[in-house]
């Protein structure tokens, strides 16, 4: 019986995953983020659409999540990291991001949008790259991936400050950046 209810809730969660994905994909497409030209335009700094979407998502998300957390309604779900992981991995990702012109989320959206370079080039590439990492993982997991380890720390914990003491200045900073982007005359 327990097994059955557990399975039922797992199945329900798979459907929730699908539904949240559908809304996410719908929003990405409406924002233009499923398009190579928009993403590479952002990296060339001639079109700030991607940054505007990301920063307004982060601002909205942050305020809501920290309010829900303060009321005990949710727990944060944080990733551990290190300099070796996030700086080196981040830079390699960035190189791929510019060469491909899509990222793992937006490539799914690009495929839905009908972009065949995403389906026939980018998707197999991401699968191969992920497989290559799985092959070398035993060689790097206790070395470079642990270099400069800081774990799953948040900025408030790093600064030993109350959540809102960091949330509010970060929110103001994001709004200032958005105003600067709007004033820059670039899309």
Partner 1 sequence: MDFLTEIRWSPYAVGIGIGILSWLSFLISKKPIACSTTFAKTSGMLERVILGPKVTEKPYYKKIKLNIDWQWMLVIGIIIGSFISALLSGDFQLQWVPSLWAGTFGSSALLRIFVALIGGICLGFGARWADGCTSGHGISGTMQLSLASWISAICFFIGGIITAHIIY
**What whole-number distance in Å separates Cα of residue 24 and Cα of residue 68?**
21
Q: Is 101 exposed, middle or buried (0-12, 13-18, 19+ CB in 10 A)?
A: buried
DSSP states along 9-50: HHHHHHHHHHHHHHHHHHHHHHHTTT-HHHHHHHHTTS--HH
What are the angstrom distances between the C-alpha of 72 and each of 16, 67, 152, 161, 167?
22, 9, 19, 19, 17
In this complex, which beta carbon is closest to partner 1, that of residue 1 or of residue 138?
138
d(Cα 83, Cα 105) in Å, to the nearest integer? 24
Residues 13-32 that bind partner 1 (CB under 8 A): 13-32
Q: Would you say 1 or 51 has its CB closer to partner 1?
A: 51
Residue 117 sits in the site that holds partner 1 (CB under 8 A): yes
Which string of x and - marks every residue 70-109 that binds partner 1 (by CB under 8 A)? ---xxxxxxxxxxx-xxxxxxxxxxxxxxxxxxxxxxxxx
Spatial separation of the C-alpha atoms in residues 181 and 61, rounded to whole Å: 20
Of 132, 165, 173, 180, the residue at the interface with partner 1 (CB under 8 A) is: 132
Q: How far is the CB of 2 from partner 1 (least distance, A)?
A: 19
* Nearer residue to partner 1 within complex by CB, 26 or 180: 26
Looking only at residues 137 through 166 of this chain, which bind partner 1 when binding is defined by CB under 8 A?
A: 137-138, 140-141, 145, 150, 152-156, 158, 166
Interface residue with partner 1 among 44, 168, 173, 176 (CB under 8 A) is 44
Residue 175 interacts with partner 1 (CB under 8 A)? no
């Amino acid at each position: 019986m327990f097994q059955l209810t557990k399975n039922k809730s797992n199945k329900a969660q798979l459907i929730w995953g699908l539904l949240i994905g559908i809304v996410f994909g719908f929003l990405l497409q409406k924002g233009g983020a499923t398009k190579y030209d928009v993403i590479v335009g952002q990296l060339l700094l001639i079109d700030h659409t991607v940054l505007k979407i990301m920063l307004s998502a982060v601002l909205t998300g942050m305020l809501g999540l920290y309010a829900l957390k303060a009321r005990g309604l949710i727990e944060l779900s944080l990733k551990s990291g290190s300099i070796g992981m996030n700086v080196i991995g981040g830079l390699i990702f960035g190189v791929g991001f510019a060469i491909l012109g899509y990222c793992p989320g937006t490539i799914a959206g690009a495929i839905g949008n009908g972009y065949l370079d995403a389906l026939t080039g980018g998707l197999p590439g991401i699968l191969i790259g992920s497989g290559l990492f799985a092959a070398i993982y035993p060689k790097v997991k206790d070395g470079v991936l642990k270099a400069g380890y800081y774990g799953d720390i948040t900025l408030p914990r790093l600064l030993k400050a109350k959540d809102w003491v960091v949330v509010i200045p970060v929110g103001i900073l994001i709004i200032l950046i958005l105003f600067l982007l709007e004033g820059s005359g670039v899309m």
